[in-house]
């Protein structure tokens, strides 16, 4: 279940460090108390308790469901696909945002403090189906992706290789990870749940949100320290005036990291910012130092085959090849450049562009703090699906933004609907579900 000596720390916070032997005792006791079922939705807010619950569910022979978000609708949708499943989490109220209004049925609250039980070292079979992760829904309906223990164990070895060099060569001590991304997300699962199980890594039990909370969690962590975060969070940390302890490195994912932000973060924190690329379907498959590199380096054993509609991915941790919608341009040295997605490409009046490039140009306008360009579902009277944009730019007028876009964007690709908003509807990992974008566009036009 986990690697290392019994005294090796697997988790920590401001008050304690938790060794593997204590973790195993917690897992045994919780597993013995779980109800009879096949699937469970892990809603724990505390990262250590999520880790205990995840392993206890697996030890019981059950599968953890990882909804694309912790809204009541997302949880109910996933549970409807797996009748008889239950939810477990921290003491009430649990991770579901609406739990205080509509209590979750079949909810198991983890006891506080966690009970302990002695016994043999807990083990999980390599072929056990331990998790089903669901895609974010940013491009459509969330899709299930099953993961066996072997899948996770193999991909974690690759992730450890991807992080090599972020701490000193020959470093014998434990790497201490502080993560701002929820453990329910596949990126959070990989970097803050699986790493402590299979590497010489200890994870902070909390999920700090505000910059001062992140700084405090990092202060709680002994050196070397690794921050696992997202571009949205990283921007807030860079712009804060808080003093930071020395970091061994920063890892980021879930959304494209702008090169200027990567460079600013490296200057601000005095360490490398390493961006990783992956998906719920594939887990992490590539890395780059965005401040200095545009191309991505595939992880060891990852093979990429471009196709007209995307890219086929083969890797040791995948049961079978997976086709991603991302268009990749392979280079002679084995690295690749991302060229958007097939669904991201636009063709209007015989001209072509991509939504990701239009969004990049929008974000480059001085005064634009956040924004997104996307295509509407319905076509106009000419059969063209028009382009819209939502922009966070408190000091700019819509006409100023459009005027700036005209300098670098063909007129046929200018957003026909451009609305300024207070904030974009980003989820916990910074992604923008399409349904939320369309809803915000309609509400802002009323």
For the segment 88-114, the average pLDDT, to the nearest whole number, is 73
Class (C level, CATH) for 349-444: alpha beta
pLDDT at 139 over 90: no
Q: What is the pLDDT of residue 382?
A: 55
Hey, do 9-292 and 349-444 end up sharing a CATH topology, with the first three levels equal?
no
Range of 25-34, 138-147, 355-364 with top mean pLDDT = 25-34
Which carries the bigger pLDDT value, residue 310 or residue 443?
310
pLDDT of residue 168: 66
Virtual torsion, Cα 282, 430, 100, 54, nearest 10 deg: 30
CATH 2.70.98.10 fits 9-292, yes or no: no
Segment 75-83 shows an average pLDDT of: 89
Which of 314, 311, 368, 318 has the alpha carbon at shortest distance from 339?
A: 311
**pLDDT reading at 36 higher than 60:** yes
How many whole angstroms separate alpha carbon 353 and alpha carbon 229? 30
Residue 106 has a pLDDT of 85
Least confident piece of the model among 53-67, 103-117, 274-288: 103-117
Element spanning 399, H or E:
helix 398-406
CB 229 within 8 A of CB 191: no
Sheet holding 175-179, edge to edge: 17-19, 9-12, 201-204, 175-179, 225-229, 249-252, 273-279, 283-288, 297-298
Query: Could you tell me the pLDDT band of residue 167, with boundaries at 50, 70 and 90?
Result: confident
Q: How far is CA 4 from CA 54, 118, 201, in A?
A: 19, 18, 10
Would the pLDDT of 170 be above 60?
no
Residues near 67 by beta carbon (within 8 Å), at least 6 away in sequence: 41, 74, 75, 77, 78, 134, 142, 184
Q: What is the mean pLDDT of residues 204-230?
A: 95
Lookup: tokens for 442: 């309609």
**How many residues are present in the chain?**
446
Banded pLDDT at 432 (limits 50, 70, 90)? confident
Distance, in Å, from the CA atom of 5 to the CA atom of 11, rounded to the nearest integer, reads 14
- Asked if residue 136 has pLDDT above 70, the reply is no
Model confidence band, residue 92 (pLDDT cutoffs 50, 70, 90): low
In this prediction, residue 333 carries a pLDDT of 94
User: What's the pLDDT at 356?
Assistant: 84
* Domain locations in the chain as residue ranges: 9-292, 349-444
Residues 274-302 have a mean pLDDT of: 95
Task: Name 330's bridge partners.
Answer: 336
DSSP 99-161: TTTSPPTTEEEPPSSPP----SPP---TT-EEEEEE---TTSS--EEEEEHHHHHHHHHHHHH
CA proximity to 277, closest of 316, 231, 233, 320: 231
pLDDT above 90 (res 255)? no
Mean pLDDT of the chain: 89
Residue 385 pLDDT more than 70?
Answer: yes
Q: How many C-beta atoms surround the C-beta of residue 403 within 10 A?
A: 12
* Predicted confidence (pLDDT) per residue in 356-384, tens digit: 889 988 998 999 999 999 988 876 665 66
Contact call for residues 281 and 320 (beta carbons, < 8 A)? no
pLDDT band of residue 443 (cuts 50, 70, 90) is confident
The tokens describing 326, both together, are 């991302």
Residues 267-291, mean pLDDT to the nearest whole number: 96
- At 363 the three-state DSSP class reads helix
Cite the beta strand spans of 47-92 per DSSP E: 63-66, 86-89
In which band, very low, low, confident or very high, does the pLDDT at 16 lie, cut at 50, 70 and 90?
A: very high
Task: Give percent above pLDDT 90 in the chain.
Answer: 63
Is the pLDDT at 82 greater than 70? The verdict is: yes
**Closest of 14, 130, 18, 17 to residue 63, by C-alpha:** 130
Q: What is the pLDDT of residue 350?
A: 63
């Amino acid at each position: 279940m986990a690697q290392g000596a019994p005294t090796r720390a697997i988790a920590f916070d401001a008050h304690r460090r938790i060794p593997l032997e204590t973790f195993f005792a917690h897992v045994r006791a919780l597993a013995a108390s779980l109800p009879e079922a096949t699937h469970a939705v892990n809603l724990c807010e505390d990262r250590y308790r999520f880790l205990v619950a995840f392993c206890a569910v697996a030890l019981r022979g059950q599968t953890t469901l990882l909804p694309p978000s912790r809204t009541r609708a997302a949880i109910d949708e996933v549970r409807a696909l797996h009748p008889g499943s239950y939810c477990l989490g921290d003491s009430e109220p649990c991770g579901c945002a609406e739990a205080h209004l509509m209590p979750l049925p079949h909810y198991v609250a983890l006891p506080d403090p966690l009970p302990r039980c002695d016994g043999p070292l807990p083990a999980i079979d390599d072929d056990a189906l331990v998790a089903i992760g669901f895609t974010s829904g940013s491009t459509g309906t969330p899709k299930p992706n099953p993961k066996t223990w072997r899948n996770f164990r193999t991909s974690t070895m690759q992730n450890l290789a991807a992080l090599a060099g972020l701490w000193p060569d020959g470093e014998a001590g434990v790497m201490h990870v502080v993560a701002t991304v929820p453990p329910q997300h596949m990126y959070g699962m990989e970097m803050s749940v699986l790493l402590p199980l299979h590497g010489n890594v200890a994870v902070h039990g909390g999920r700090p949100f505000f910059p001062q909370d992140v700084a405090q969690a990092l202060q709680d962590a002994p050196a070397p320290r690794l921050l696992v975060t997202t571009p949205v969070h990283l921007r807030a940390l860079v712009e804060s005036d808080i003093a930071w302890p020395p970091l061994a490195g920063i890892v980021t994912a879930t959304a494209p990291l702008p090169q200027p932000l990567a460079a600013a973060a490296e200057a601000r924190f005095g360490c490398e910012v390493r961006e990783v690329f992956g998906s719920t379907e594939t887990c992490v498959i590539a890395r780059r130092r965005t401040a200095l590199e545009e191309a991505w380096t595939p992880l060891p054993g990852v093979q990429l085959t471009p196709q007209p509609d995307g890219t086929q991915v083969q890797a040791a941790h995948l049961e079978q090849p997976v086709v991603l919608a991302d268009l990749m341009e392979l280079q002679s040295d084995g690295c690749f450049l991302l060229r958007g997605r097939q669904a991201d490409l636009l063709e209007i009046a015989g001209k072509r562009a991509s939504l990701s490039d239009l969004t990049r140009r929008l974000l480059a306008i001085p005064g634009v703090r956040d924004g997104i360009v996307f295509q509407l579902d319905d076509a106009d009277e000419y059969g063209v699906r028009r382009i819209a944009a939502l922009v966070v730019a408190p000091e700019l007028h819509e006409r100023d933004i459009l005027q700036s876009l005209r300098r670098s964007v063909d007129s046929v690709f200018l957003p026909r609907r451009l609305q300024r908003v207070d904030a974009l509807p980003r989820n916990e990992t910074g992604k923008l579900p399409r349904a939320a974008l369309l809803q915000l566009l309609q509400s802002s036009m009323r």
